[in-house]
């Protein structure tokens, strides 16, 4: 296992669409291991493959946030939301690709998701609460969509400019 570098905005790879995974073999499993390690190290509760520069439909999550909760690592390959509730939920989201920035995002409170697990087994499950928010946030990454795409243009431009400036400083 090894840590991968997490891309930050405005890296163009974060805005690209991803490819379906056609088979789950050694490379994919190694990537998933690395993604978990990178996510826990950050630390964060979710990570999508484009955030480590891989344009494949793979996400990992662990929404067991409280200290007394058991770890709950979940990897999803080719995830697809097949149902959403009408009830919505607002949660203050953040993203490892936009460090130290948080904003309220409103999304469906409950969802049903279909995906392949690491053993290529087709799974369908319902999720609500934080896990539902997290799954939707991570699946958005696979479409090149970030949580700042849900906030006001003014706020989005302000945060984007800040990170453009940081990227320029880093190159200088």
Residues labelled as active-site residues? 138
Report the residue number, 32 or 95, with the smaller CB distance to Ni ion. 95
Report the residue number, 95 or 159, with the smaller CB distance to Ni ion. 95
- Inter-CA distances, 108 with 1, 60, 89, 129, Å: 35, 20, 6, 9
Query: Which residues contact Ni ion by CB under 5 A?
Result: 95
Report the residue number, 102 or 119, with the smaller CB distance to Ni ion. 102
CB of 68 to Ni ion, least distance (A): 26
CB of 34 to Ni ion, least distance (A): 17
CB of 70 to Ni ion, least distance (A): 23
The rounded distance, in Å, linking the Cα atoms of 73 and 46 is 10
Asked if 51 and 141 count as a contact pair (C-beta separation under 8 A), the reply is: yes
- Residue of minimal CB distance from Ni ion? 95
CB of 137 to Ni ion, least distance (A): 6
DSSP string, the chain: ----PPP-TT-GGGGS--BPP----HHHHHHHHHHHHHHHHTT-SEEEGGGGT--BSEEEE----STTSPP--EEEEEEEEEEE-SSEEEEEE--TTSTT--EEEEEESEEEEEEE-TT--EEEEEEEHHHHHHHHHHHHHHTT--GGGGS-HHHHHHHHHHHHHHHHHHH-
């Amino acid at each position: 296992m090894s840590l991968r570098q997490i891309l930050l905005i405005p890296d163009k790879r974060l805005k690209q669409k991803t490819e379906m995974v056609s088979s789950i073999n050694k490379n994919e499993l190694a990537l998933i291991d690395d993604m978990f390690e990178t996510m826990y190290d950050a630390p964060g509760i979710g990570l999508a493959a484009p955030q480590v520069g891989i344009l494949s439909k793979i996400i990992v999550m662990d929404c067991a946030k409280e200290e007394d909760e058991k770890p709950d690592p979940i990897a999803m390959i080719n995830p697809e939301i097949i149902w959403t509730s009408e009830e919505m939920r607002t949660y203050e989201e953040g993203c490892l690709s936009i460090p130290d920035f948080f904003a309220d995002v409103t999304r469906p409170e409950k969802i049903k998701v279909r995906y392949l697990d690491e053993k290529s087994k087709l799974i369908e499950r319902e999720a609500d609460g934080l896990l539902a928010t997290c799954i939707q946030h991570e699946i958005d990454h696979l479409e090149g969509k970030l949580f700042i795409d849900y906030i006001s243009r003014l706020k989005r431009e302000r945060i984007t400019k800040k990170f453009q400036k940081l990227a320029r400083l880093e190159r200088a």
